[in-house]
Amino acid sequence: MVYPLSQCLILILLAVVFLQFHRNRATLVTLLLAVSWLYLCSTALFADFLMGTLEQDFRPKAMSVMGEADAIVVLGGATRGDTHLGTLPDLNQQADRLVYAAALYKAGKAPLLVLSGGSHGDARPEAQLMRETLLVMGVPGRDMLLEGASRDTHDNALYTAVVLNGKGVRKILLVTSAFHMRRAVALFEAQGFEVVPTPTDYQRLVAAPVLPRWLPSVDDLARTTIALREYVGFWVYRYRGWL
């Protein structure tokens, strides 16, 4: 229900119901609303605006001024999973998380990486998939701990705390997408960690896009969808008392 495409389809179905009852005006208004909402959500103007409101409080820091911590915690969401003919997990648009985590480790910012991400159905846990990718990037396996049971951000924080229990880890560098950082930081702080936000995967490009920003595109619809889902996720977590 959070996805703009689903909302558009629901409005179209509602318009069909209005049409059956000969409510022509209501039918037209509902169809116009559906098309207008889908168009707006598919533009770079709207996608950049929503992403900007989520990213603005988490600006990047230069690696040279970033302090050290006990561990780097990397949240899942960077892979699509195993593919039929691939030898490595397929990465998605949020794979910056893995690249940045590897850069932090190689810069000596923490001696340990914790990879947090479970799976759906029979798929392998994302923690394992991230480990395979980081091994290719040159991160040694002995310095990676896996948390492969989590299904959402709340689980990420809860189960990571279990993995690190007794290891003396209190200060962590938390690696996730900038748009996801507000919710993630609050959840890990609730587990007693001293959290240093280390955001990555910023969504607004510096260069002008190929298409005018008012023209719709599938990529911009996807970015709007992610932003809306993050807003809803934050308020649902707050309603449940997790934040």
pLDDT digits (tens, 9 = 90+) for 105-135: 999 999 999 999 999 888 999 999 999 999 9
Count Cβ atoms below 10 Å from residue 171 Cβ, excluding itself. 14
Q: What is the pLDDT of residues 176-235, one digit of tens each?
A: 999 999 999 999 999 999 999 999 999 998 888 788 999 999 999 999 999 999 999 999
Is the pTM above the cut of 0.85?
Answer: yes
Rounded-to-integer distance, Cα 160 and Cα 163, Å = 5
The conformation of residue 68, written as its DSSP 8-state character, comes to P
User: CATH number of 63-200: 3.30.300.30, 3.30.70.1150, 1.10.3470.10, 3.40.50.620?
Assistant: 3.40.50.620
**Parallel, antiparallel or unpaired: strands 71-75 and 113-116:** parallel
Burial class (CB in 10 A: 0-12, 13-18, 19+), 33: middle
Q: Classify strands 71-75 and 79-81 as parallel, antiparallel or unpaired.
A: unpaired
Domain spans of the chain? 4-55+220-239, 63-200
Beta-bridge partners for 216: 43
Backbone angles phi, psi at 4, to 5 degrees: -55, -35
